Chain A
């Protein structure tokens, strides 16, 4: 096998490790997959009654894509925790002492987390469909929307790997986990940014999470009052591609650098 062949084979071995974790701890993994469902039901139930849309559509039409985007953000926590745990327990060192491809340590994590987020989206979409949410623009558009969501997850993956390699202990991860919440709420995930005070609405609109939520709503054909007025509101699709690409361009090299400097 060639060097690249081994790198891919090793990455798959590392990714399979996570799949085996799922089998060993089904309760835990089911919880992480159903947590976004819980949020969907909770916020749908809590806020749905208070929301009125001009065309009379259900709050779930707005909320489901919002929760899709939010679950991509929350995936960050899983990535960070897994990376930090491996470093602090010496598992990363063991991998690094093997004659395997060192890129595979990180790539394997990447494959496993993308699979995890794909399952999360499938579970959420099924729940959404049961609650009356629909995509209205045909399957290809819906697939494109899911693609945008996974692109955001891919970008956040590198943020997670970078933070996970940087903080080195589980306590600091908890701190970052707390910070994930305001980032999640300060977006168009739950409500249209047009209902917020101007300055807050502007901040929320520029949140990459909002761009992905708004762009995927457009592709699903779901209503989104945020998609108006401002430049960022009308260019959400563009922002939903550029922001993740930028995040990846920054954090992928940073993560690779961090990984290499484990040896300094």
Chain B
């Protein structure tokens, strides 16, 4: 496996005039190695889409540098566009045309000959399980089918780098799973993917490496496991019946807490590292103290908590 950097961005800045159209970038750095999937994770307004639009030459940066496979996105836009595929936030396919007509048209615009464009279209329809719907207008497709067609359209010329911007936003769970499996296929085929998402779970499922974005800057970077360790922890949530028990429960939870315990009314949230052990020990302590909680649950950290953790701001 090579360690060639196919995406390199350093100190990218972008301010929108008026500031209403989207989040800017504020010294954005990124390095992506060939053949990997990198997840760009962050909440709405963190600048994910802006980063993708700049790297795919759709948007000009104010300052900084960025290259795709060694080609400057500012000065060699044509060279960059020959090497990338882009799947935008909404399925950017023609809704009136059929799936096949869309793919043939995009094939022609990628300068394939007519016969080659038709062959490629059929091959991609097959690969994304769209053969049956190939002759139907895209307006009749489900959300998941549209995204798959969108993915297919961006793979016509086997791009070096594929940008996938929030591929499952607005999809139902079934559509999400369809798109995930389609993205996994690409990865097995060796395509380098830069994926943006606001779902921790999605980044976890698909990405080898995750860069966390906040206010236009990467604030943490690593493999999903590294980040999780770095971010701690699952949460043990207790809901009590009697507010008077809260101080006692906080005291009991002290030994298992891996970080600051949060209290909100009768809810006590304890960050824990060793899930099962903490749950059993907590249950035992409560039993001994004769406190019967209304609810006792283990849960994964939410993205909000991840960000709070990263920025050191307590809730």
Contacts and interface: CB of A to CB of B under 8 A. Distances in A.
Q: Are A and B co-members of a single complex?
A: yes
Interface of A: 6, 9-10, 13-14, 16-17, 20-21, 24-25, 89-91, 93-100, 262-264
B106 interface: yes
Nearest to B81: A99
Nearest to B57: A97
Contact of A93 (B86, B108, B110): B86
A128 to B, nearest CB: 31
A99 B78 contact: yes
Nearest to B87: A94
B92 A90 contact: yes
28 contacts: A6-B111, A9-B108, A13-B108, A17-B97, A17-B105, A21-B97, A24-B98, A24-B137, A25-B96, A89-B95, A90-B89, A90-B91, A91-B92, A93-B86, A93-B88, A94-B86, A94-B88, A95-B109, A97-B57, A97-B81, A97-B84, A97-B85, A98-B81, A98-B106, A99-B81, A100-B109, A263-B59, A263-B60
Central interface residue in B92, B105, B106, B110, by most chain A CB within 10 Å: B92
A183 B108 CA distance: 40
Given A93-B86, A263-B59, A13 B92 contact: no
Contact of A24 (B58, B60, B85, B97): B97
Contacts of B106: 94, 98
B93 interface: yes
Central interface residue in B57, B58, B85, B109, by most chain A CB within 10 Å: B109
A97 B86 contact: yes
Majority SS at the chain A contact face? helix
A257 to B, nearest CB: 14
A13 B59 contact: no
Given A21-B96, A93-B92, A94-B86, 7 more contacts: A13-B108, A90-B90, A94-B88, A94-B92, A99-B82, A263-B60, A264-B17
Interface of B: 17, 53, 56-60, 78, 81-82, 84-86, 88-98, 101, 105-106, 108-111, 137, 153
B92 A20 contact: no
B24 to A, nearest CB: 12
B137 A96 contact: no
Central interface residue in A9, A14, A99, by most chain B CB within 10 Å: A99
A25 B60 CA distance: 37
A9 B110 CA distance: 11
A96 B81 CA distance: 9
Contacts of B60: 263-264
Contacts of A97: 56-58, 81, 84-86
A122 B181 CA distance: 51
Given A24-B96, A263-B60, A99 B111 contact: yes
Contacts of B137: 24
B59 A264 contact: yes
Contacts of A17: 94, 97, 105
Contacts of B58: 93, 96-97, 262-263
Contacts of B84: 97
Contacts of A94: 86, 88, 92-93, 106, 153
Contacts of B92: 89-91, 93-94
A93 B53 CA distance: 9
B109 to A, nearest CB: 5
A90 B98 CA distance: 17
Contacts of B86: 93-94, 97
B261 to A, nearest CB: 45
Contacts of A20: 96-97, 101
